[in-house]
């Protein structure tokens, strides 16, 4: 996406929002329940926003929500975009650029993921402590967008330990058993074979999904504070694989949605307010 297209989207959105959001949210399959806690000022369908992709995945509403949780101004994406839908990595991360330009400083991401850690169960929530990019794509390819960040952004501490500890405390306050682990992003849309599952576990992944990593890389480039919590929708054990379906994934994500919404709401309440 060119700077000109980013500006056209901003020119459309800026007059339609009362105040600039500080917190951005990306809500994946079956995990949009937090928007019920937003005092909504505006809900804008993606197809009304210049150059915005369209969400085609089942379980994704496809709209931008602007409003308030507590005293924090929120900008939430109800549904995201994926490489497997045919979008380019720059199209997928276009909304991150828009968030940063509108004033977002903290990005909270949720998604559905398959569990690789044998200690996990379907319905668990896992806070991401690090990630592995096996999607074959990177949103920073091509000319650098100097207005957003450096050519070679550092990735040694993507998920700030102090912020993660605050999220863990928020989960404890909500009575939610929040697991932690490494997320690996793959291309999809086919699910993993037993051999691929074994490989992903060997290289250190605790959960696998088809989103999130590109968005995080773009957010790092924009200088945002980032947190990711994934809902474990099934657990892949390579020696006893069981079949799954999108219906089963959505059902498991729906079960994980309410506790995830409670955690995010508490996290948002603990964020400092702009002076």
pLDDT for res 274: 67
Name the DSSP letter for residue 44.
E
Q: How far apart are the first and last CA of the chain?
A: 33
Alpha helices (runs of H) in 76-157, residue ranges in sequence order: 89-92, 94-102
Residue with tokens 């576990």: 201
pLDDT per residue as tens digits for the range 205-228:
999 999 999 999 999 999 999 999
User: What CA–CA distance (Å, rounded) separates 33 from 199?
Assistant: 34
H runs (alpha helix) in the chain:
3-13, 89-92, 94-102, 161-173, 194-202, 213-221, 246-270
For residue 192, give both structure tokens. 């993993």
The structure's pTM equals 0.94
Angle, helices 94-102 vs 3-13, to 10°: value is 60
Cα–Cα distance between 163 and 157 in angstroms, integer? 11
Question: Is CATH 1.20.120.450 the right assignment for the domain spanning 3-270?
Answer: no
pLDDT of residue 57: 59
Task: Name the β-bridge partners of 127.
Answer: 180, 229
- What is the rounded CA–CA span in Å between residue 150 and residue 233? 36
Give the pLDDT of residue 144.
96
Phi, psi (5° rounding) for residue 192?
-80, 145
Positions in the chain whose pLDDT score sits under 70: 1, 30-31, 56-61, 274-275
CA 81 to chain CA centroid, nearest Å: 10
DSSP characters over 127-143 = EEEEEEE-SS--TT-SS
Beta bridge partners of 78: 27, 63
Per DSSP, 18 falls in state S
* Model pLDDT for residues 178-196, shown as the tens digit of each residue: 999 999 999 999 999 999 9
The region that residue 30 occupies, defined by phi over 0 for left and psi between -120 and 50 for alpha, beta otherwise, is left
Q: What whole-number distance in Å separates Cα of residue 164 and Cα of residue 226?
A: 9
Q: Which of 268, 266, 255, 69 is nearest to 175 (CA)?
A: 266
| Cis preceding-peptide flag for 189 (omega within 30 of 0) | yes
**Torsion-angle region of residue 223: left (phi > 0), alpha (psi -120 to 50) or beta?**
left
């Amino acid at each position: 996406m060119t700077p000109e297209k980013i500006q056209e989207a901003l020119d459309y959105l800026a007059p339609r929002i009362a105040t600039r959001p500080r917190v951005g949210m990306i809500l994946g399959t079956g995990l949009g329940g937090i928007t019920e806690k937003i005092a909504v000022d505006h809900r804008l369908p993606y197809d009304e926003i210049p150059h915005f992709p369209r969400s085609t995945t089942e379980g994704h509403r496809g709209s931008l929500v602007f409003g308030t949780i507590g005293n924090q101004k929120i900008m939430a994406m109800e549904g995201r975009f994926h490489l497997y839908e045919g979008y380019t990595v720059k199209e997928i991360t276009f909304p991150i650029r828009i968030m940063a330009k509108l004033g977002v400083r903290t990005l909270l991401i949720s998604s559905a993921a398959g569990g690789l850690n044998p200690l996990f169960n379907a319905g668990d929530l896992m806070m991401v402590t690090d990630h592995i990019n096996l999607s074959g794509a990177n949103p920073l390819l091509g000319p650098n967008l100097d207005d957003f960040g450096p050519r070679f952004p550092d990735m040694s501490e993507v998920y700030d330990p102090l912020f993660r500890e605050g999220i863990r405390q928020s989960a404890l306050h909500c009575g939610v058993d929040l697991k932690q682990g490494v997320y690996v992003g793959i291309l999809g849309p086919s699910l993993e074979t037993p051999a691929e599952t074994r490989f992903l576990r060997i290289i250190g992944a605790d959960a696998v999904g088809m989103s999130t990593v590109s968005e995080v890389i773009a957010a790092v480039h924009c200088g945002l504070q980032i947190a990711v919590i994934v809902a474990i929708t099934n657990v892949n054990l390579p020696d006893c694989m069981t079949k799954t379906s999108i219906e089963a994934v959505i059902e498991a994500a729906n079960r994980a949605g309410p506790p995830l919404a409670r955690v995010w709401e508490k996290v948002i309440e603990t964020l400092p307010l702009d002076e």
